[in-house]
Structure 1
Amino acid sequence: MKADIGFGAQARAAYAQDPFESRGRLFPEPESPTRTPFQRDRDRIIHSSAFRRLKHKTQVFVYHEGDHFRTRLTHTIEVSQIARSLARALRLDEDLAECLALSHDLGHTPFGHEGEDVMHVCMAPFGGFDHNAQSLRVVTHLEQRYAEFDGLNLAWETLEGLVKHNGPLVDPNGNPLGKFQDSELPFAIRDYAAKQDLLLHTWPSGEAQAAAIADDIAYDAHDLDDGLRAGLFAIEDMREVPFLADILAEVDAKYPGLEESRRIHEIVRRSITRMVEDVIRHAMANIEAAAPTSAQEIRMAGRCLVGFSPEMILAEKEVKRFLFARVYRHEDVLSVRRLVAKVVRDLFDRFLAEPELMPKPWNVGLEALSEQEIARRVCDYIAGMTDRYAIEEHRRLFDDTPDLG
């Protein structure tokens, strides 16, 4: 089995992204004598303010609900571990895969997807909101730490993978694709694309594809784990999903009478293992068929090479359908989502009407800004908040702050 799935592979393949052939940074810098460009990017991401704030940003359950549930930070770490495992097996650049995993959620609002949905509605008159585009804005503008530039000045390959890890954003003629095909690309992407061409019409590197599928694997596994531990559904309910029923039967056959907490962990770890091994086998077959000899040929392959097999795609969809019904649409989760939606909307409306109420430096230079620019600044301010800080700001400005306890 180990040899079958590339276990222990170390040397980068010809189709991996070579850090020493990077397209460079928007603002040229001397190379580090001790780190590759992607190792340097990883370190900059980890030391950023936005990365630290992930500790207090919701995944599914808001911060007050328990110390054992995932946050954006713990989710990010889990994605990073899976992305590195995939990259190692496929002989991709592990550091670039790790960079992309660590940075993929930096643009998320407080309160998880509910916060993002509300922010998108609030920003609809001003170009909308997309957390992936906001992640780009964080690392290219909002992180203001360095003396010579705004943002983190990450390598081209890191920015490219961050923006389009799920695939091309435009067709060869520049027309938006996917969820943007009936509108336009988000402001942050359009704004940055005017400064540096990220080849938005191609697929991303193999490392970015590995990080993207690692996100799906981690999401499914930890939402099953958190949903079970929160009591939103029972272990036996998982028999509705053939993929999970098979794993449950395997665990029970090997460990009859196992206590529930260990039983849950065995189910979750086997889910991750099966999905990871499926990706490795399928990606190896895809790569062998496409026979890429460079990272650029991965980009120009015209399809995703690192992803689930057709069989696992169907199985994973069933898992997601189960989670949607049993977790994301559970009344206990929805009741909290309705409360936090009010927090985000109230904050946006108040700050848009009275932007001077934002603290420094957010309230500096407002007189020179258009309504569109003020709205974007309000959006940037709120999107960067942790759950706790958003509640505190709401309490500062309003008398009807929801009690999430």
Structure 2
Amino acid sequence: MQWDRLLSSRRFGDDRYQGQKSRSVFVQDHDRIVFSAPFRRLANKTQVQPLYEHDHVHHRLIHSIEVSSVGRSLATRIGQWLAGQGAIAAAEVDDLANIVQAACVAHDIGNPPFGHSGEEAMGAWFQDRFATNGGLFAEIPAGQQREFTAFEGNAQGFRILTRLEMYRGDGGMRLCKATLGAFTKYPVGATDRDLIRAEDPAGAGYVGLKKFGLFQSDLPAFRDVAETLGLPERISGAGRFWARHPLVFLMEAADDITYNIVDLEDAFTTGELPYDRVRAILADIAGVTKVRPASMTPAEEIASLRARSIGAAVEACEAAFVQHYDAIMQGRFSGDLIGASRLGPAFAEVKALAGDQIFTAPRKTELELSGRRIIANVMSGILPVYEDMARCGWDAEKLSPHSQQLARALALDLRDLQDAETALHALADFTSGMTDRYALRISRMLSGT
């Protein structure tokens, strides 16, 4: 892969666009994302703690902004190193940082309400319907059903960026192809990924195949992006996928650094983890041995250690990128920067602790169970509208009075529906786009409570 192609400023859906001298096209990408409705809704979507009243606990929007800050810092350091190696021009250092910042701020834009448990809830609802229902569900080929039964926020994010938001059906936000490449962690469709895993387990070990990141209907869009950027397309078993854009590793590292460290700070804030335990882990990552000054409160020290830990992790990921640079550029590196860095063991300890004590906290578990029921209520409540659309030959004007009332009350977007696949994606668009509290309100309305 070559940087002169990887940093392409050509816009998806608008190749003829000419940038402004006063503002980089990659800064424009960042601004388009930040001012979009899907990004705004992240302010009321769960990061780790569902429906928390504590003002200092993170939600998806704050998390995304913090990830973009860390990503910009890491990318600037990498860009300066690349410029020093003669791989990019000095003027392109800012471009590289702006691309990563834009990709980072968008990285969670496709996530449903209630965090990762929301993804699982949507997938479980679809799984039940495919197992028991005919109608719309019988029309989806078996190989494509995993787009729904293993609902994936990353694939939904690409759909939002390139199809749904702004120029609907005509390039979406029309972001630069470099930004879309840096956004796409899993450049493979669900069907191809399943074929690869079934026929070539060794090939399925590539990090870009950990999940699927593209819906079948969006594969042509990503192919366009990949051809411009020069991302190699590969065949493994009976499936096809693309190599990751090198900047994906920076976006992913920024996310890993931020959520692991900030989850600890939030757990201290909510009382789920004691001060001594959190301090010890953060001090180890930050390389701090000094005792807390008497003038500093425990909360202030944890905040200080959080900042220093992030700085140390950025430095460690830069070193890991440099160490594995050749493999990354050849599309062969199959790990993550934080795991490959000197801080890999410390972050593995953080993840283990989060799995044992943060993600399983009673309050969080109870609300995830409630969230699962809320999502099921919503999806079951609006499904009849899409079934009615099928009976009406996809003509919204012919819907029953009740379906029209329901569509009007919820502002369901029934444009572009033409078959079972587009209908089920539209149902998923609505559900995944809801905030936690809006989902709760709609669930109560549909249940008559």
- Please indicate the TM-score interval, normalised by the length of the shorter structure: 0.7 to 0.9
Deviation, structure 1 residue 202: 4.1
What CA RMSD, in Å, does the superposition of the two structures yield over aligned residues?
3.4
Deviation, structure 1 residue 117: 1.0
Structure 1 residues 82 and 302 mapped into 2: Cα distance closer, same or farther (>3 Å)?
same
Partner of 1:278: 316
Indicate conservation of the 8 Å contact 1:57/1:72, yes or no: yes
Structure 1 residues 65 and 254 mapped into 2: Cα distance closer, same or farther (>3 Å)?
closer
Indicate conservation of the 8 Å contact 2:8/2:177, yes or no: no
1:190 aligns with 2:216: yes
Partner of 1:391: 440
The amino acid that maps onto 1:268 is R
Partner of 2:414: 364
Once residues 221 and 336 of structure 1 are traced to their aligned partners in structure 2, the CA distance between those partners, rounded to angstroms, is: 23
Deviation, structure 1 residue 203: 3.5
Once residues 399 and 249 of structure 1 are traced to their aligned partners in structure 2, the CA distance between those partners, rounded to angstroms, is: 55
Once residues 46 and 249 of structure 1 are traced to their aligned partners in structure 2, the CA distance between those partners, rounded to angstroms, is: 34
Matches within 5 A, 1:220-369: 220-238=260-278, 243-244=281-282, 246=284, 250=288, 252-253=290-291, 255=293, 258-287=296-325, 290=326, 298-303=328-333, 307-308=337-338, 309-355=340-386, 356=403, 357-359=406-408, 362=412, 364=414, 369=418
Once residues 23 and 326 of structure 1 are traced to their aligned partners in structure 2, the CA distance between those partners, rounded to angstroms, is: 46
Once residues 180 and 250 of structure 1 are traced to their aligned partners in structure 2, the CA distance between those partners, rounded to angstroms, is: 33
The amino acid that maps onto 1:156 is K
Matches within 5 A, 1:166-205: 175=196, 177=204, 185=212, 188-197=214-223, 198=226, 199=231, 201-205=241-245
The amino acid that maps onto 1:344 is I
Deviation, structure 1 residue 217: 0.4
Structure 1 residues 318 and 147 mapped into 2: Cα distance closer, same or farther (>3 Å)?
closer
Q: Deviations over 1:215-235 (max 9, x none)?
A: 000001111111110011102
Once residues 248 and 331 of structure 1 are traced to their aligned partners in structure 2, the CA distance between those partners, rounded to angstroms, is: 30
Once residues 121 and 179 of structure 1 are traced to their aligned partners in structure 2, the CA distance between those partners, rounded to angstroms, is: 26
Once residues 179 and 341 of structure 1 are traced to their aligned partners in structure 2, the CA distance between those partners, rounded to angstroms, is: 31
Once residues 300 and 121 of structure 2 are traced to their aligned partners in structure 1, the CA distance between those partners, rounded to angstroms, is: 38
Structure 1 residues 46 and 334 mapped into 2: Cα distance closer, same or farther (>3 Å)?
same
Secondary structure of 1:250's aligned partner:
coil
Deviation, structure 1 residue 194: 2.3
Deviation, structure 1 residue 274: 2.1
Deviation, structure 1 residue 89: 0.7
Once residues 381 and 104 of structure 1 are traced to their aligned partners in structure 2, the CA distance between those partners, rounded to angstroms, is: 19
Once residues 339 and 358 of structure 1 are traced to their aligned partners in structure 2, the CA distance between those partners, rounded to angstroms, is: 25
Q: Deviations over 1:322-363 (max 9, x none)?
A: 011111011121011111111011111111134432346526
Partner of 2:140: none
TM-score of the superposed pair, with normalisation by structure 2:
0.73
Deviation, structure 1 residue 278: 0.9
- Please point out which of 98, 117, 120 is paired with 1:117: 120
Structure 1 residues 362 and 279 mapped into 2: Cα distance closer, same or farther (>3 Å)?
same
The amino acid that maps onto 2:111 is H
Q: Deviations over 1:156-190 (max 9, x none)?
A: 222222222x6777999x8364699999946x432
Q: Structure 1, unaligned stretches of length 5 or more?
A: 1-13, 291-296, 401-405
Q: Between the two proteins, what is the percent identity of the paired residues?
A: 26
Deviates further, 268-277 or 145-154: 145-154
Q: Deviations over 1:242-274 (max 9, x none)?
A: 754635993652535742111221232232122
1:40 aligns with 2:40: no
Q: Structure 2, unaligned stretches of length 5 or more?
A: 80-92, 131-144, 198-203, 234-240, 387-402
Q: Deviations over 1:288-336 (max 9, x none)?
A: xx2xxxxxx9542411587133542222111101011111011121011
1:108 aligns with 2:114: no
Deviates further, 258-267 or 146-155: 146-155
The amino acid that maps onto 1:193 is L
Once residues 228 and 267 of structure 1 are traced to their aligned partners in structure 2, the CA distance between those partners, rounded to angstroms, is: 13
Deviates further, 98-107 or 252-261: 252-261
Indicate conservation of the 8 Å contact 1:19/1:37, yes or no: no
Partner of 2:85: none
The amino acid that maps onto 2:43 is K
Once residues 4 and 440 of structure 2 are traced to their aligned partners in structure 1, the CA distance between those partners, rounded to angstroms, is: 42
Deviation, structure 1 residue 365: 6.1
TM-score of the superposed pair, with normalisation by structure 1:
0.81
Matches within 5 A, 1:16-35: 16=3, 21-22=8-9, 24-34=11-21, 35=23
Once residues 387 and 157 of structure 1 are traced to their aligned partners in structure 2, the CA distance between those partners, rounded to angstroms, is: 32
Deviation, structure 1 residue 27: 3.4
